[in-house]
A and B are shown apart, each in its own frame.
Chain A
């Protein structure tokens, strides 16, 4: 199983708000390492959505936001659109096992 825990799936109707959680531990998120989020559309490579817990790269709409607290982080998407249907992954750094980058198991977002 993944070092970071995400719900396997979430869903919402167009226009609604959804959140995706990412739970870590004291050797990764809880140690102060930042959380990143990636969006992966079907058949495509992952794309950076959020870096440094809450920063959006240029081109990512402001209806997408990220936050971190303690050993967890969250991704929020408001004003859901059909094009948001994708897999979402959180990522951080873990100092155990000689240090490595780690991902969550991924969350499938379905727009109803």
Chain B
């Protein structure tokens, strides 16, 4: 199984400031056949199911604010919130879909400082 490791486990950021979450996979999730990274990011607010934010490492889902951006390739990825808003308080998960079984990171909690 591909192990997904996120860092940090939690971070506190001031409103309007940048938040960056890291995700590292135990093996590459980059497909050489189509040059795509099989990496997704989810946001989970308390008491709610996860919401898909980004797929293919950097492609935002419809309706996701452009302050959310994904980057990286191969084994190292980042989710950046460029200007943290109060509604962004949540736990964020990365997920790889390059290899079965599908696996998720342990989650990163984002709070307001």
Chain B associates with chain A: no
